[in-house]
């Protein structure tokens, strides 16, 4: 099983579709390293899933990069 520890780079497979009359896009996303998949309704939910794997560095992390 893949680690849930974030890496500096992540890869995703994303499929987006919509149907006439549908209020929001449907999005299937797979996090490549872990194999975790999800289907969400709306691009905002898709971004939220991706952000789980790609957090911004904390102040402590940024200091360590100097």
Average predicted confidence (pLDDT) for the chain = 84
Name, in order, each residue with C-beta under 8 angstroms of 50's C-beta and a sequence gap of 6 or more: 10, 12, 29
Between strands 37-41 and 26-31, the pairing is: antiparallel
For residue 35, what pLDDT is reported? Answer: 97
For residue 55, what pLDDT is reported? Answer: 79
Helix, strand or coil, per DSSP, at residue 44: helix
Single pTM value for the model: 0.71
pLDDT mean over 8-13: 90
């Amino acid at each position: 099983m893949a680690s849930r520890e974030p890496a500096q780079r992540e890869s995703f497979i994303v499929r987006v579709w919509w149907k006439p009359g549908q209020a929001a896009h449907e999005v299937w996303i797979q996090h490549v390293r872990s194999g975790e998949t999800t289907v969400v309704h709306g691009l905002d939910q898709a971004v939220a899933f991706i952000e789980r794997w790609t957090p911004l560095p904390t102040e402590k992390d940024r200091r360590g990069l100097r």
